[in-house]
Structure 1
Amino acid sequence: MPIEIVTADITHLRTDAIVNAANPGLLGGGGVDGAIHRAAGPALLQACRALPEIAPGVRCPTGEARLTPGFALPARWVIHTVGPVWYGGTRDEAPLLERCHRNALQLLRAQRLHTIAFPAISCGIYGYPAAQAAAVAVATLRDELAGNDDIEVTLCCFSEAMRAAFQHALNAA
């Protein structure tokens, strides 16, 4: 079960799919979400707008995932997932973050894809502490990939500090 950690811009990776740390409306935003929308081009926003709202302004609830083409990205697909906002660990943040990773892999498998890159979901403006998010991500991915050598996961970190947190979690697992 290959898990690789890189420091890079996720919008430059050539994988079957990249994961977007999105907001519930899926209409773009800041951080990795904004970078993916800018790199993919306006067709991504159109594809996201075409996804049905399940509540006013919500196309993807926290912990769930949605799939769109990658358009101008090197990745063929974008898997949008909404991570939890950090409230000190008191509002089921860890199980919700787990579900983000599991549901993204479920969509990858459903499309019969083999390579995926994840950003540090919820570690930006949503405030999830990097070390704790990394531990949840690595444990979940290892569990999901056990006995499944046909999927390759890249954990894509935008900074060296974030890469170090994820590398520590991978080494400790």
Structure 2
Amino acid sequence: MSKTELRAIKGDITKQEVDAVVNAANTSLLGGGGVDGAIHRTGGPAILEECKQIRAKQGGCPTGEAVITTAGNLPAKYVIHAVGPVWHGGKQNEQELLASCYRNSLRIASEKQLRSIAFPNISTGVYGYPKGKAAEVAVSATKDFLQHHDTNLQSITFVCFDEENYELYNQLLNKV
């Protein structure tokens, strides 16, 4: 794991110059609000076209899973669409489903031999996942994946849209 840098920044996921940005997608893969809408708007129609092809082949993307498409007009090479869980008080396997989003995104990045990936704060917007709990799952699942898988990833960035998430991720990443 020592070869992979983990960091948090406050910024816009659509401006990240990385091999892949992760989209906090919904099961339809047809775009939506928040991060999903921003990625689709900025990336342009090529992303939606590939999402439609994936839907035709497999019927969307289940919660906890991830798929990859072009990044269209984004500065990244790819978009990995990960479907996070809606928060139901932690009683519907939300923690495992969220961890699965991160693991599946990292698995796809590893399979594609990508060197850099940027994650948004999956499920913390309209899906209502508590920010602190989501940050703990994200960092834990990422570190666990890196400990158990050989990967080309050199940097993993958690791109935080707001100050609260930025502080939460920095606290978790700077724990010894």
**TM-score in terms of structure 1 length:** 0.94
Distance 1:27 1:48 in 2: 7
Partner of 1:4: 7
CA contact (8 A) 1:2 1:149 kept: no
1:61-140 to 2 correspondences below 5 Å: 61-140=62-141
CA contact (8 A) 1:118 1:154 kept: yes
- Give aligned-pair identity as a percent: 47
Q: 2:169 aligns with which of 161, 166, 171?
A: 166
CA contact (8 A) 1:63 1:99 kept: yes
CA contact (8 A) 1:83 1:96 kept: yes
CA contact (8 A) 2:110 2:151 kept: no
- What letter is aligned with 1:100? C
Give 5+ residue unaligned stretches, structure 2.
Answer: none
Distance 2:87 2:168 in 1: 17
Does 2:55 align with 1:52? yes
Does 2:28 align with 1:25? yes
- What letter is aligned with 1:155? F
How many residues end up aligned between the 2 structures? 171
Give the secondary-structure state (helix, strand or coil) at the position aligned to 2:102: helix
- What letter is aligned with 2:8? I
Give 5+ residue unaligned stretches, structure 1.
Answer: none
Task: State the Cα RMSD in Å.
Answer: 1.6
Does 2:143 align with 1:142? yes
How far is 1:54 from its partner? 7.2
How far is 1:47 from its partner? 1.1
Distance 1:95 1:129 in 2: 14
